[in-house]
Amino acid sequence: MPPQLKTLIPLFAIFIVLFLVGRHLVVPESFGEAGHYRFNSIVENAEKPLQYADKDACNECHEDYVMEMESDMHAGLSCETCHGPGFAHYEEPDSSRLLVPDQREFCGLCHQRNFNREKKLAQIDLKEHYPEKKCIECHNPHLPWDITE
């Protein structure tokens, strides 16, 4: 055996041990149990309280609004896109109120003209499109083409 290996081999052994100890300290407990990820993250996320209920849940009490919305251009939107997470309201409607976003800026989040936006999404300029009124004074938010001027 060449003499320099006598020092290199123990040195390598020390490096390998340090690497294994370091890896053991930084890799989370359940990593690799079911794949290349931390398995406990699934359990932790499943334990979080539900926030959203979805349209079918709203339909149990607000059938009229759901039907109205299906018949017009906002049919693709979820109720909770505008009214916020509704699971608590779904369970206890009287004690958990939802948002009622009636500000122009709210509609502008999707409809303000922006050349980076997909062309098929109808766009207006908030500064020019009847700036003195709220959108919902003219457009029913559930039936946007049901216009009252």
Give the residue, chosen from 62, 88, 113, 143, that forms a contact with ligand HEC under the rule CB under 6 A: 62
Q: Shortest approach of ligand HEC to residue 100 CB, angstroms? A: 5
Pick left, alpha or beta for residue 98 (phi over 0 → left; psi -120 to 50 → alpha; otherwise beta).
Answer: beta
Return the ∠ at Cα 131 (arms to 126 and 133), rounded to 5°. 120
**Cα–Cα–Cα angle for 109, 120, 74, rounded to 5 degrees:** 60
CB of 72 to ligand HEC, least distance (A): 8
57 lies in the binding site for ligand HEC (CB under 6 A): yes
Report how far residue 64's alpha carbon sits from residue 98's, in angstroms, rounded to the nearest whole number: 17
Residue 106 CA to residue 141 CA, distance in Å, equals: 11
CB of 32: closest distance to ligand HEC in angstroms?
39
**From candidates 39, 66, 113, 143, binder to ligand HEC by CB under 6 A:** 66
Q: Judged by CB, which is closer to ligand HEC: 40, or 96?
A: 96
CA dihedral of residues 44, 45, 48, 49 (deg, nearest 10): -150
How far, in Å, CA of 48 to CA of 60, rounded?
24
Does 50 interact with ligand HEC (rule: CB under 6 A)?
A: no
Q: Which residues bind ligand HEC (CB under 6 A)?
A: 53, 55, 57-58, 60-62, 65-66, 69, 73-74, 76-77, 79-83, 86, 89-90, 93-94, 97-98, 100-102, 104, 106-111, 121-122, 124, 126, 129-130, 133, 135-139, 141-142, 144-145, 147, 149
